[in-house]
Structure 1
Amino acid sequence: MAHTEDDRTFFERERDRLTAEITAGFEELLPCSNQLNRKLEEVLGMTREYETIAALWHSFHLLMRSQKEDESTEGQHQGLPGTGGHVLNQPSAEEH
């Protein structure tokens, strides 16, 4: 037996209204959730790119440090100009 609009109780009408409201909320939530997932994937992708760049700079740093250590073991304390490790030879008191 089908219920007409007048035969339905307040509870049934309210239940149907709330069900429709919840359904509409989920339909609105789904695209926002998809957009958030895409943004998170972009951030994770950028993080991986930065890890690659950081690894490259770390390798460069290790190379420069090993070269500086090699120079200091040879008795040379000369570094690259602009890096803070470059030491100019200062004339001794005897040369004045």
Structure 2
Amino acid sequence: MEENTSFFEKERDRLTAEISSGFEELLSSSNNLNRKLEEVLGMTREYETIAALWQSFHELMRGHSDDGDVSAETEQQPHGLPGTGGHILTASKSGGLGAVQEEQQNS
């Protein structure tokens, strides 16, 4: 029966098989692409969750620093850390200790 098939029919069958193979490869590649895109979208959702967590932490810490600023304004005394030269030992300025405090605050 193959003897009766013309060159056109053989070439048509070969090209049809090649096109079909190409479509299968295209379908496989697009499925891989879709999986990768879903993975990327999933990762961005995870990052959004982490970013929201850090944002709430930042707002919480900013709220605490704002509260600290209000108390510092009412006390009218600068706050400092021990060992940095800004730490206030007493509130009175009498005697030798007051001179040390003024020197620490001015430096």
Give the TM-score taking structure 1 as reference length.
0.69
The match for 1:92 is 102
Q: 1:16 to 1:74 in 2, by over 3 A?
A: same
Higher-helix-fraction structure = 2
Say which SS state the counterpart of residue 72 (structure 2) adopts.
Answer: coil
The match for 2:30 is 33
What whole-Å deviation, never above 9, does each CA across 1:28-65 have from its counterpart, x for those lacking one?
A: 22222212211111111111111011000000000101
Distance 2:22 2:103 in 1: 85
Percent sequence identity over aligned pairs = 60
Structure possessing the higher radius of gyration over alpha carbons: 2
- Please tell me the residue identity of whatever aligns with 1:16: D
Match runs of 1:71-82 below 5 Å: 71-75=68-72, 78=79
Give the TM-score taking structure 2 as reference length.
0.63
Q: Is the 8 A contact 1:79 1:87 kept in 2?
A: yes
How far is the alpha carbon of 1:12 from its aligned partner?
3.3
For structure 2, which runs of at least 5 residues remain unmatched after alignment? 89-100
Q: Is the 8 A contact 1:71 1:78 kept in 2?
A: no
Structure showing greater relative contact order (alpha-carbon pairs closer than 8 Å, 6 or more residues apart) = 2
How far is the alpha carbon of 1:19 from its aligned partner?
1.2
Total equivalences in the alignment: 87
